[in-house]
Amino acid sequence: MHYYSLNKQAPNVSFREATIKGQAPDKGLYFPATIPTIDPLVIRNSNDYTKEELAMLVMQPYVGDTIDEKSLFRIVSETIGFDFPLVTINEQISSLELFHGPTLAFKDVGARFMSRCLGYFSQQQKGKVTVLVATSGDTGGAVANGFLGVEGVEVVILYPSGKVSPVQELQLTTCGQNIKALEVSGSFDDCQAMVKDAFMDADLNKALQLTSANSINVARWLPQQLYYFFAWQQWPDKARPPVIAVPSGNFGNICAGLLAHVSGLPVQHFIAACNVNDAVPEYLRTGSYAAKTAVPTISNAMDVGSPSNFIRVMELFGNQYETIKEKISGYTVTDELTRQTIADVYQQEGYILDPHGAVAYYALADYFSQHPEQKGFILETAHPVKFPDTVEAMIGKQLEVPAAAQHLFALEKKSVSMKASFAALKEWLLHA
């Protein structure tokens, strides 16, 4: 498998090179040269496969010969070494819970896969790799946990000060060892812009071997397909594929689901459920795309005004607006509706949603009001305990902190304060 830059001004590369580089020299995102097709028999008989076997079948074509089969099986097994239950909420809507990993968020899958791939590749090269990552919430903790102690890899996480939840901040600022956290006085978009500028800077690239752990990196993005396949294994009515509502910020997650669908996974329809940072729903309504300035919301991991991965969605469907609109519906959900949804679903169904899952639930329920004959599920992307102030106020009781997070509250936050300036980041990286 080769990967090409979506800016079309850089050479094709292997999975190994795409993973290590993160972004192409022409600033484009890497995209697979061909989309593998899953054997229809595998889809039909998906329950005959273990999670590990199914994951190998999905991921091997993308990795090619850059990782040997035994090592890849170990990597995918460690990547998905926790549960992905599809939980019924009511007659029409289920929840694919993606928060049973070590940092209680869906991004554990991509971070674990990428960290293990980079660890494998680092054994084949001299010098350490520096991973730069911007986070609006869950990415930072997942990357910190996934890369902690990986030899030959240093990790630098940029996060917007005051715009992540307490648990999220503790997860990315308390690791130590090879993990450094930079607390930026700005938005997620500022952090992401600083990271992108770093990749294009000649001085930094001469001094450091940089790569990204955001979903712009193929090794973070591609394995997110896996839990869509695991959901299909659990889907009760194979004759009637699900409608899937995905809480969407930077659009890596829904793009991975769309890739799985193009590869052969049965899906009736996708819903891009956004908060008021809704550049893509606006595009789906009007056919005109324009980035927006990010606005803070209670579903903070989706506070992205210029989603990087939407260009991959466009590429996947040949930049054809009508085709994209046929596959995806876009929704804009306010904080007021998000809070009300958390309260209503708890009171009526006894199920506790986090703010991101609540955005998806509202969108899916609204879609079903127009399509009552269909069924589907939301992606519940983070544990509600990561957002205690919002959730507890809506359900009227205190959340129980899972064992995986209890130890965090005894740890000391360690971060470096930084202006939202690439010059400040460059100075720190060169002299830290």
294 and 385 in contact (C-beta within 8 Å)? Answer: no
Confidence of residue 423 (pLDDT cuts 50, 70, 90): very high
Confidence of residue 263 (pLDDT cuts 50, 70, 90): very high
Residue with tokens 């054997």: 39
Residue 189 has a pLDDT of 84
Residue 1 has a pLDDT of 94
- Does CATH place domain 81-102+221-400 in 3.40.50.1100? yes
Question: Residue 139 pLDDT > 90, yes or no?
Answer: no
What does the alpha-carbon distance between residue 369 and residue 344 come to, in Å, rounded to a whole number?
16
Question: Is 107 among the catalytic positions?
Answer: yes
Which residues touch 389 (CB under 8 Å, ≥6 apart)?
none
Radius of gyration of the chain measured on its C-alpha atoms: 20
Question: Residue 351 pLDDT > 80, yes or no?
Answer: yes
Question: Residue 40 pLDDT > 90, yes or no?
Answer: yes
Residue 391 has a pLDDT of 97
Neighbouring-strand partners of residue 94: 88, 377
Neighbouring-strand partners of residue 272: 246, 330
Question: Residue 127 pLDDT > 80, yes or no?
Answer: no
Question: Residue 302 pLDDT > 80, yes or no?
Answer: yes
Residue 64 has a pLDDT of 97
Confidence of residue 166 (pLDDT cuts 50, 70, 90): confident
Of the ranges 102-106, 292-296, 342-346, the best mean pLDDT one: 342-346
Residue 192 has a pLDDT of 86
Confidence of residue 408 (pLDDT cuts 50, 70, 90): confident
DSSP string, 226-251: HHHHHHHHH-S-TTSPPEEEEE-SSS
Question: Residue 168 pLDDT > 90, yes or no?
Answer: no
Percent of the chain with pLDDT over 90: 77
What does the alpha-carbon distance between residue 334 and residue 254 come to, in Å, rounded to a whole number?
20
User: What's the mean pLDDT when you consider all of the chain?
Assistant: 94
Of 268, 257, 296, 286, the C-alpha closest to 98 is: 257
What's the average model confidence in pLDDT over 326-353? Answer: 98
What does the alpha-carbon distance between residue 158 and residue 136 come to, in Å, rounded to a whole number?
9
Classify strands 93-97 and 86-88 as parallel, antiparallel or unpaired. antiparallel
User: What order of strands is seen across the sheet that includes strand 153-160?
Assistant: 209-212, 129-134, 153-160, 179-185, 416-419
Name the strand (E) or helix (H) holding 163: none
What's the average model confidence in pLDDT over 371-385? Answer: 96
Q: Determine which of 69-78, 184-193, 340-349 has the lowest per-residue pLDDT on average.
A: 184-193
Of 21, 51, 107, 386, which one is the catalytic site residue?
A: 107
Which is more confidently placed, 258 or 177? 258
Taking only the tens place, the pLDDT of each residue in 173-219 is 999 899 999 999 998 889 989 998 998 899 998 999 888 887 889 99
Of 15, 27, 30, the C-alpha closest to 68 is: 15
The CA–CA distances, whole Å, from 279 to 176, 283, 310 equal 36, 6, 10
DSSP annotation of 101? S
